[in-house]
Chains A and B, each alone.
Chain A
Amino acid sequence: MTENREASGGETGLVGGAQALSARSVPAGAGPTTKARKHRPWGEIAIFTGPALVIFFTFVILPVVLACYVSFFNWDGGGDLGKFVGFDNYTNVIQDSVFQQGIRNNAFIVVFSLGIQGPIAIGIALLMNRKLRFRGAFRTMMFVPYVLSEVVAGAMWRLILDQRGILNSLLIQTGVFDSPRDAIGWLSDSKLVMWTMMFVLTWKYVGFAVILMLAGLQGVNEDLLEAARVDGATWWQVQSSISIPLIGPTIRVWAFLSMIGAIQLFDMATLLTNGGAPFDRTFTMAMFVIDRAVTYRQYGYATAAAVILFAISMTVALLFMRFVMRRDNETEGSAA
């Protein structure tokens, strides 16, 4: 296993190094590759990329473009788009205090998802990458919540966290609470509900982060770590100055996916908190979109909110790619 590590690399760490190596050896190889590169096999490219492009365009791009169009109408979901209202939907959404609350909630969820799940996931991945008895079992258990559907997880946590739910009963039975009146409304106390949701989100999604980090750690060259050990570095020194920097690209990919997921959060928040209650404390932008469309039949208005949501995730993503992930893409040619 160890000897093959270098070559496979995975999505992380050594990829840059492996590429730098092969890039160096290409000029020496000369001959056939140079020729093959000059004529561009457009037919092959079309056959390989075509199907994916067609499906992606039809079911992702086209609906989004349509959404932009629809957002300029006072559409109520019927066959007729209704009156053209220009940017009215947009100005109204931006001034809607519920949507503003949604933006703040999403911002909170983004910051705390990264801040809580990142360090936990790195720690667990480092631990579970070590020689550990029952390592496979531990890893599998970590991933179970991620594999559960949001519907199942939401229903489950509501049974547990309800005012008269399992957790409160447990706390009363074990004497932590003196009387049933001390029971805490984990999901109904407006000050608490967001933290409760962060707890559940961590439970649900930290496993995905751990998978990615473990995959990244697989790509870290064992020889490097061994060399450091032999030179007397402690376990933590090895991790903090070799392993963690080497899985940097994986961490950044995870942060990117996690951030986008948090901005677009819908299922878990809806199912867990019964549509954002209390007082829209956990109401997200995506919930606003679906709520305005399904409950109020304001499809044009809802679609405008959806486009704003998209614009926000796009901006955040582009900034992140531009300033944080850029060097990962640049290592290809210049890794030394």
Chain B
Amino acid sequence: MSTYNQRAAEARAAGKKRKSLSDVGVAGYFVAILAAGFAVVPVLYIIYSAFRSSGQLSSAPLGLPDPLVLTNYETVLTTPEFWKMLFASTLVAVATTIGVVLLGVMAAYPLARYEFPGREGIYTFFTAGLLFPITVAALPLYLILLKLGLPGTPWGLVLPQIAFQLPVTIVILRPFVKAIPRELEEAAAINGAGRVAFFFRILLRLTTPALVTVGVLAFVGSWNAYLLPLLVVSGSDWVTLPLGVARFQSDHSQDTALILAFLSLAMLPAIAFFTALQGRIVSGLSGAVKG
């Protein structure tokens, strides 16, 4: 501690300010507020404006809700289709997330820690998937789904979504799996745990923060998907919310406020889910290795 202070004193003497190091200052807060505000204000505006009527909106876009209008939200929440779409979106997103995380970490494990010929080849094969936009494959993909009898079912969304999400998942997970010190694996081996046991008992626990990260990316990707549902579940019982937004928008094109209410309610679950896990996504990265 004393050397620290001494050095700090020297630094100060050298004319360099230590104060600015841990202290963000007014300018820092200003920038942070500006950036965060830029990100959320449009979204808040949508949620807020849905408490007004379309008439109020067109006469004064920034006015107060006078009187406060709850009917927009009520109308959406009492529409059975909304709940049906919400259920479809949730089921598809959850199934996609579980599939991506499980298959992703399983594939990443040998690709990161086993040594075998062809390993880099398989890894490159997966990373090539990053380059395949769903737009390239969409039409032939539909033909394959048709052969398998999957269009109009949740599986018709879940399986391709898992497949298209695997590349980025593996690219993110592999370095995490690699970064776990060899010593841990050796210690496990000395204690009689094979590599499979190491995977289940140690690796899954140590990579949890990374798994949360890829899981959230998969969930959000699925929740927001537009093109694939458009091709696969249009007109079926499994219409998801983004498709519903587009449909709702054309059905009620005159009633802006009602559309805004639908938009707000459609985006809320993903935002809530993300917000709940946000802390774990970023700060969870320094997982407990010593544990």
Inter-subunit contact A149/B39 (CB<8 Å): no
A289 to B136, Cβ gap below 8 A?
yes
Interface centre among B36, B38, B43, B128 (most CB of A within 10 A): B36
In the complex the two chains form, is A149's CB within 8 Å of B267's CB? Answer: yes
Residues B43 and A148 in contact, CB atoms below 8 Å apart: yes
B186 is an interface residue with CB less than 8 A from chain A: yes
Contact assessment for B163 and A56 in the assembled complex, using a CB-CB cutoff below 8 Å: yes
- Mask of A245-266 contacts with B, CB within 8 angstroms, 1/0: 0000000010011001000101
A260 touching B135 in the complex, CB below 8 Å, given contacts A52-B103, A59-B159, A211-B282: no
Chain A min CB distance to B21 (Å):
5
- Chain A residues with CB under 8 Å of B111's CB are 49
Cβ-defined contact, A11 with B227, below 8 A = no
Q: B: which residues have CB within 8 A of A?
A: 4, 7-8, 10-11, 14, 16-18, 20-22, 24, 28-29, 31-33, 35-40, 42-43, 45-46, 60-62, 99, 103-104, 106-107, 109-111, 114-116, 122, 125-126, 128-133, 135-141, 143-144, 159-160, 162-164, 166-168, 170-172, 175-176, 178-183, 185-186, 189-190, 195-196, 199, 206, 209-210, 213, 220, 223-227, 241-242, 245-246, 249, 256, 259-260, 263, 266-267, 270-271, 274-275, 278-279, 281-283, 285-290
CA A127 – CA B242 in complex, angstroms? 34
**Shortest distance in angstroms between B270's beta carbon and chain A's nearest beta carbon?**
5
Contacts of A8 in B (CB 8 A): 176, 179, 206, 209, 285-287, 289
Contacts of A290 in B (CB 8 A): 135, 138, 227
| Residues from 1 to 19 in A contacting B, C-beta threshold 8 Å | 1, 3-5, 7-12, 14-15, 18-19
For A141, list chain B residues within 8 Å (CB).
Answer: 36-37, 39-40
Assuming the contacts A48-B107, A49-B110, A143-B278, asked whether A234 and B162 have C-beta atoms less than 8 A apart, the reply is no
Given known A130-B28, A218-B286, A313-B131, contact A144–B137 (CB-CB < 8 A):
no
Q: Is A335 an interface residue (CB 8 A)?
A: no
User: What DSSP secondary structure best describes chain B's contact surface?
Assistant: helix
Residues of B within 8 A of A151 (CB): 224, 226, 242, 245-246
Q: A residues within 8 A CB of B17?
A: 234
Q: A148-B43, A234-B17 are in contact. Are A264 and B133 (CB under 8 A)?
A: yes
Contact indicator B139/A303 (Cβ below 8 Å) = yes
Query: Is B278 a contact of A306 with CB atoms below 8 Å?
Result: no
Residues in A whose Cβ lies below 8 Å from that of B178 = 15, 19
Are B286 and A48 closer than 8 Å at their CB atoms? Answer: no
Contact yes or no, B141 A148, CB < 8 A: no
Cross-chain contact B29 with A218 (CB below 8 angstroms): no
Using known A-B contacts A48-B106, A142-B35, A290-B135, determine if residue A18 contacts B7 with beta carbons closer than 8 Å: no
| Nearest A residue to B115, CB-CB | A37
Residues on the B chain within 8 Å of A60, using CB:
129, 132, 137, 160, 163-164, 166-167
Which residues does chain B contribute within 8 Å of A233, judged by CB atoms?
Answer: 16
Q: Please, could you name 6 A-B residue pairs with CB atoms under 8 Å apart, sorted by A?
A: A19-B178, A21-B181, A130-B28, A155-B263, A218-B282, A232-B18
Nearest to B119 among chain A residues (CB) is A45
- CB within 8 Å of B: which A214-253 residues: 214-215, 218-219, 229-235, 238, 253
- A184–B111 Cα distance when bound, in Å, is 53
Taking a contact as CB atoms closer than 8 A, the residue among A149, A214, A310 that contacts B282 in the complex is A214
Q: B139–A4 contact, CB under 8 A?
A: no
In the complex, are the beta carbons of A132 and B24 less than 8 A apart?
A: yes
Do the beta carbons of A147 and B220 come within 8 Å of each other?
A: yes
| Given known contacts A166-B61, A214-B282, A309-B133, A235 and B20 CB-to-CB distance under 8 angstroms | yes
Contact among B32, B226, B287 with A132 in the assembled complex (CB-CB below 8 Å)? B32
Q: Chain B residues near A48 (CB, 8 Å)?
A: 106-107, 109-110, 199
Task: Give the CA-CA distance A56 to B242 in the complex, in Å.
Answer: 25
- Which residue of B has the minimal Cβ distance to A59? B163
What's the nearest-Cβ distance from chain A to residue B201, in Å? 15
Residue of B nearest to A51 (CB): B103
A147 x B172 contact (CB < 8 A): no
Do residues B141 and A63 form an inter-chain contact, with CB atoms below 8 A?
yes
Q: Given A170-B61, A218-B286, A266-B133, are A143 and B28 neighbors across the interface (CB < 8 Å)? A: no
Flag if B226 contacts A149 (CB, 8 Å). yes
A231 pairs with B274, CB closer than 8 A: no
> Looking across the interface, which residue of chain A has its beta carbon closest to that of B186?
A29
| Listed stretches A64-72, A84-92, A108-116, A273-281; interface member | A64-72
Residue in chain A with minimal CB distance to B179:
A9
The residue that A53 contacts in the complex, of B61, B122, B281, with Cβ under 8 A, is: B122
How far, in angstroms, from A290 to B275 measured CA to CA in the complex? 34
Is the pair A160, B42 in contact by a Cβ cutoff of 8 Å? yes
Q: For B22, what are the chain A residues with a Cβ–Cβ distance below 8 Å?
A: 130-131
CB pair A232 B282 closer than 8 Å? no
* A42 contact set on B, CB distance < 8 A: 116
Which residues of A (120-162) have their CB < 8 Å from a CB of B? 120, 123-124, 127-128, 130-133, 136-152, 155-157, 159-160
Answer whether A231 and B179 are a contact pair too, CB < 8 Å, given A32-B189, A60-B164, A211-B282. no
